[in-house]
Each structure stands twice: as C-alpha cells, then as structure tokens.
Amino acid sequence: MSALPTLYHLIDGQPFASSRPPFENRNPATGALIGHVCEADAGIVDRAVQAARRALRGPWARLDEHDRAALLRRTADRIRARFDDFLAAEVADTGKPVSLARTVDIPRGAANFEVFADQIANTATESFRTATPDGRGALNYGLRTPRGVIAVICPWNLPLLLTTWKVAPALAFGNTVVVKPSEDTPTTTALLAEVMREAGVPDGVFNVVHGFGPDSAGQYLSEHPDVDGITFTGETRTGAAIMRAAATGVRPVSLELGGKNAGVVFADCDLDAAVAGIARAAFLNSGQVCLGTERVYVQRPLFDTFVQRLRAEAGMLRPGDPRDAATRFGPLVSATHRRKVLDCYARARADGATVVTGGGVPQLPDALAGGYWVQPTIWTGLPDASPVLREEIFGPCCHVAPFDDEDEAVARANDSAYGLATTIWTRDLARAHRVAAAIEVGVAWVNCWYLRDLRTAFGGARQSGIGREGGAHGLEFYTELRNVCIKL
C-alpha cells in the first residue's frame, strides 16, 4: 500500500475500515492512481444503518424544523467556506473541467441545502372541518413525519450536486441517511461528511459507506430490512434491481434513471441559439449528463446547415488539463465507461452511420495520454431502429436526423423506452406549448436546456424513473402523511 490517501467509511461520526481490501481511485484525466477507498462488507453496512436508526431517536428527533433549517444553512455556508477543497476533489475524481465544477457543481451543492431549508419553513398540510351527526363536528388535519432511515445511492457524473440533492431534503424532513457514493467518485461525499460535522449535524444522522453495487455496499444497503426508503440516480437496470430489493418489506423508492433524450429543432428557430443549445446538451460534461441530448431531429429545410454548424461547435471543444481554467472538454469518468462509449462509436460505424465529426480517441500530450478521453462525435444516416438510437450511451455524442412536420417530430421523439427530458427550439409559441405537452417526458425545455428552478418537479416517465424530486414534490417520498381526526 502506498502513502496515497485512503477514504474510510463514516459511521456515527467515526471512520471505519472493513475486512475487504481497499479499491483504487484514479484520476480520469491522466489515469493516475490518486488514492484508495475502503469497500464495505455487510457488517459495515449494518453498522451504518443501525447508527442511522439510533440517531432517529436521539437529539436529532428533538430538533424542530427551524433548527433543522439552521443546520442546513450552516452546511451550505461550510461548503462555500471550503469551496477550493470541494473543487479540487470534484475535478480529481470526475476529470470535469474546473470551469464547469466551479460554476455548477460546487455552487449547486451549497444551494441545495438552502432550497430545502426554505422548503421546510413553507410546507403546509391540509385540514378539513368535518360534519358529525351531533352537529359538533370534527377537525381533520395532515401531519407529516419523517420516513426514517433513507438509503442514498449516488451516481458518478455529478457526485456532489446529486448527493446533496437527495441528502438535503432527507435531512430537512427529519430523516437520517446512509449514503453510498459511486465507487468512481467518492471524495466529495467524504468531504461533505466533514462539513456536516462542522455544521453541527449530530453523529449518526449522516453516514457514508463505500463500495460497488452487486455483492457490495449497494446491494447490502438496498436489501437491509431497517432501511425505510431508497433513493437512487443512475442506470435503469440498476434501478430495476433496487426495486426488486425494495419489494421485500414493501419499501418505497425514488428513482431517477436513464434517458435517450430527444431535441427537436424547427425551421423557424433562432439558429444561433439552437446550435449552441444542442451543442451544450450533447457535449456538456463529455455527454455524461442524464438530461443530455443524444437524438436530434431537425426540420428538413434547416438540416444541412444545422449539421455543419453543430460540427463547427464540436470542433471547438479541445481536450485539456481539467485544472486549466481555459479547458472546456474533459475525459470520461473511467476506463470501463470509455470502453462502453467506444463500443457504441464502433457500432454506429458498423450500422452505416455517417461520421460527421469525431468517432475515436483524441491525440493528447503525454501528461494526459493515460486518461479516459474520447472525441465529441456527431452522426447522421442511422435508421430510428438502430441500437445506437435506442440505448443510452452517456458520452459526448449525438445523432442528427431530418423530419418534415410537427406530428412526425413528436412521434419520433416519443419512439423510445425512456422519457426523461426534451429540448424544443421554435419561435412559434403555440407550437412550443403543443409539442411540450405531446412529448412524453418529465422535463420539457423550450428554447433552452438545463435551466432549472429547484422548486419545480424533476423526474422521468416510463423507464426513466419513478417519483419526483424538487421543492415540495419530494414530500411524498421523504415523509409519511398521517391524518389526525379530532372530535370537537
């Protein structure tokens, strides 16, 4: 074992190792080993769940919503106070450019705590005056109580942002949590545990276990009988496995899963805005965004021009050291994921795609040559039935196809097992409303992409997930609603 840092599990405020050997943490930009991470066995997961269970009955239970809101705000303040630490960890774990992490991931990680601090201060429940035979009546009112111990299983693409997106509402509504970060991006969650303690969150309220999915921390946590609810963001197949585990004990799940999102560009759009918007939707974070656009449908009169303009945008994405403020394009998260994306690139060529740009691995200087890089890629010419247009790739790529009229565009956008998001580009306001209502997704953007108000509902349809997150919409998962009836 080298002198590189080792990340331990955090349980009841204390670090723990486990019987399994640590696994490696590598920098995606260089492939260099940057640390080791303890892998949880079943005993470690049980210890974490029991710590969270005890904390539900401890000092945490005696805090009211104003006290919890204050803790959340202090947590947000501490994230900002340690901004540079979080930034360095996020960039080292994910390989994303510092320009992106600085403006999106770390600020949003802090903002999530503030949004839900506001939410608990403004959450009302229903009440009804009910008639009774004696004429005196009864009062019925809703009472929301914490669901209990929440398992938070997080993805690797936006590790701090999406972890806090789940942890903040869980704690706001009085739950305790056991968090399993992705094995590829564990460091910001470990930092978050430190920040929670600095902010005064009681021991046992926030616990962290590291590891993988099957036969590791993810499976043990999903199957644990003392976990009261499971929230997960990630691949649809993993979500299905979590649902099967949650069926034992009939425990609720909140799942934000995969997508094969469509962008629809009408001939009357603002062309400059549409090209820039689709380029961002396809290539931001090297395409590793669940809301990204991998299928683009462009009205035929605009098609050739749009493809060439999008090609030029992709050509401006130069890979470079993620720590350099000028870099706008980073690597994929791991060697395993790069193999998957490159296999999809090869399959597109084999299926007869026209490669407009990209399709391979860029040439890089020696310092970055060991990283997990692929080129931003655009295809045309594939039939809608091609596996490349049916399966989520999660890389910096998109296929562009022409369409003739609105009905065709909607039908092709809906021709997917998924239903997470869409982006629509048109100057026709009536058309914008029609198409946004007709495409079967959880989020529809018009003349924009990835513009989020954190109070709004977020989630997917069909194989893109179950449930909604954001603002008051998370109440259904993070709380139990009890009706209290008082005879007057």
Measured between alpha carbons, how far is 218 from 222 in angstroms, rounded to an integer?
Answer: 6
Both structure tokens of 49: 């769940």
CA distance 246 to 244: 5
Summarised one tens digit per residue, pLDDT across range 247-285 is 999 999 999 999 999 999 999 999 999 999 999 999 999
**Mean pLDDT, to the nearest integer, of 222-236?**
97
pLDDT average, residue stretch 436-464 = 96
Closest listed residue to residue 73, CA positions, set 188, 204, 159, 201: 201
Examine the residue annotation and report whether 448 is marked as an active-site residue of this protein: no
Other Cβ atoms closer than 10 A to 277:
23
Q: How far apart are CA 330 and CA 326, in angstroms?
A: 11
* 99, 318 Cβ separation under 8 angstroms: no
112-128: per-residue pLDDT in tens? 999 999 998 888 889 99
Beta bridge partners of 308: none
CB 8 within 8 A of CB 173: no
Residue 256: active-site member: yes
The pLDDT tens digits of the residues spanning 301-352 come to 999 999 999 999 999 999 999 999 999 999 999 999 999 999 999 999 999 9
Task: Please check the confidence at residue 436 and state whether its pLDDT lies above 90.
Answer: yes
pLDDT above 60 (res 239): yes
141-190 confidence digits (pLDDT tens): 999 999 999 999 999 999 999 999 999 999 999 999 999 999 999 999 99
Which residues are registered as beta bridge partners of 379?
355, 399
Provide the β-strand partners of residue 398.
Answer: 378
Q: State the pTM of this model.
A: 0.95
β-pair type (138-146, 479-487)? antiparallel
pLDDT at position 6 over 50? yes
Q: Identify the CA nearest to 443 among candidates 465, 428, 426, 427.
A: 465
Residues 391-411 have pLDDT tens digits of 999 999 999 999 999 999 999
As a whole number, mean pLDDT of residues 46-67 equals 96
Q: Which domains does the chain have, with CATH numbers?
A: 6-257+464-487 (3.40.605.10), 261-453 (3.40.309.10)
| Residues 57-99: tens digit of each pLDDT | 999 999 999 999 999 999 999 999 999 999 999 999 999 999 9
Active-site residue, from 290, 344, 397, 398: 290
Q: What is the largest CA-CA distance in the chain?
A: 86
Judged against a pLDDT cut of 60, whether residue 2 lies above it is answered with: no
Asked whether the beta carbons of 27 and 43 are under 8 A apart, the reply is no
pLDDT at 367 > cutoff 80: yes
User: What is the tens place of the pLDDT at every residue in 202-216?
Assistant: 999 999 999 999 999
Instruction: Check 39, 183, 256, 294 and give the catalytic one.
Output: 256
Q: What is the pLDDT of residue 122?
A: 83
**Average pLDDT taken over every residue of the chain:** 96
CB 38 within 8 A of CB 18: yes
Residue 1 has pLDDT above 70, yes or no: no
Position 230, amino acid: I
CB 293 within 8 A of CB 278: yes
Q: What is the pLDDT of residue 301?
A: 98
Percent of the chain scored above 70 by pLDDT?
100
87 touches 98 (CB < 8 A): yes
Q: What is the mean pLDDT of residues 351-361?
A: 97
